[in-house]
Amino acid sequence: MSMQDLPLGRHVDYPREYDPALLFPIARSLGRAGIGVEPSRLPFIGVDRWHAYELSWLDRRGKPQVATATLEVPADSPNLVESKSLKLYLNSFNATRMADPDALRERIVDDLSRAAGAPVRMAFGLPPITPPRADVVALDALEIDITHYGPPDATLLRVQSDEPVHETFSSALLKSNCPVTGQPDWAQVVIDYHGPRLDPAGLLRYLVSFRDHAEFHEQCVERIHTDLMARLQPRALGVEARYTRRGGLDINPWRATPGMATPRWVRDERQ
């Protein structure tokens, strides 16, 4: 398939029967080339975590079933899965009879793994809503002037001092736009790092500089991680963005330096 076949941004009839061909893979190398990341030598680890809020199918007797699910696509897979195609694919189970929930999970895992080019994980249910954390610095309370809203400007990132610290910042002001439709994508971003002290005002201005930028969710997170590594040169860095849902799905990419522990999966209150 080519990008001209992408279902995003055009009218598509909802499927009336199960169809794995609805899944549209996009090569990650397309976005990574723009930030100087070699697919064969990834400078980060990570996962794209999807929450599916509107999963439904028919049992053996034709009775509708409903559930929620969490899907995990590894960041080192050759492809990401385009969000509208995933929504259409999951909706193709609405009139499909499955023997039991395990059969449904195995079918979805197999189809998504084939599209992504690497093993995908799936579990029924969603992670909990994130509780407040006293150790997280909320950038959005800063009283600062902001005048730049795009393109992303890594020169806004500044080291405040060479004193090594471990800090976690968060902001609900990350917004970018879909590169196909131009629709806004909103996210809570959490940045956890060990390294020279980062200037919080510069970090917030940098995150806001994505406001008029057009790029897929996963690519935005990889850009943030790459820019922070280049400007800050931390010993360890993790970037997680929890995007708000669209069409019953939300995307939560996480990228980190190798060796960092996977964060506890949670959902933002806006999810």
Q: Which tokens belong to 98?
A: 């499955």
Please classify residue 219 by burial: count the beta carbons closer than 10 Å to its beta carbon, then call 0-12 exposed, 13-18 middle and 19+ buried. buried
Q: According to the model, what pLDDT value does residue 63 have?
A: 98
**81 annotated as belonging to a binding site for a ligand:** yes
Active-site residue, from 48, 111, 178, 250: 178
pLDDT tens digits, 99-156? 999 999 999 999 999 999 999 999 999 999 988 888 999 999 999 999 999 999 999 9
**246 annotated as belonging to a binding site for a ligand:** yes
**Position 41 pLDDT exceeds 70:** yes
Q: How confident is the model at residue 11 (pLDDT cuts 50, 70, 90)?
A: low
**2 annotated as belonging to a binding site for a ligand:** no
Q: According to the model, what pLDDT value does residue 4 have?
A: 56
Is 185 known to be catalytic? yes
Q: How many CB atoms lie within 10 A of CB 1?
A: 12
Q: Which tokens belong to 130?
A: 């994130």
Q: How confident is the model at residue 245 (pLDDT cuts 50, 70, 90)?
A: very high
Q: According to the model, what pLDDT value does residue 14 have?
A: 76
Contact in structure between 193 and 237 (CB atoms under 8 Å): yes
Contact in structure between 95 and 16 (CB atoms under 8 Å): yes
Q: According to the model, what pLDDT value does residue 12 have?
A: 63
Q: According to the model, what pLDDT value does residue 38 have?
A: 95
Sort strands 136-138 and 159-177 into parallel, antiparallel or unpaired: parallel
User: What CA–CA distances, in Å, run from 243 to 54, 61, 126, 257?
Assistant: 17, 37, 15, 21
* 150-163 per-residue burial string, b: 16 or more CB within 10 A, e: under 16: eebbeebbebeeee
pLDDT tens digits, 153-212? 999 999 999 999 999 999 999 999 999 899 999 999 999 999 999 999 999 999 999 999
**Position 1 pLDDT exceeds 60:** no
Q: How confident is the model at residue 13 (pLDDT cuts 50, 70, 90)?
A: confident
**264 annotated as belonging to a binding site for a ligand:** no
pLDDT tens digits, 219-230? 999 999 999 999
**Position 2 pLDDT exceeds 80:** no
Q: At 256, which amino acid appears?
A: A
**238 annotated as belonging to a binding site for a ligand:** no
Active-site residue, from 48, 185, 192, 250: 185
Indicate the average pLDDT of the chain.
94
**82 annotated as belonging to a binding site for a ligand:** yes
pTM for this one?
Answer: 0.93
**Position 237 pLDDT exceeds 60:** yes
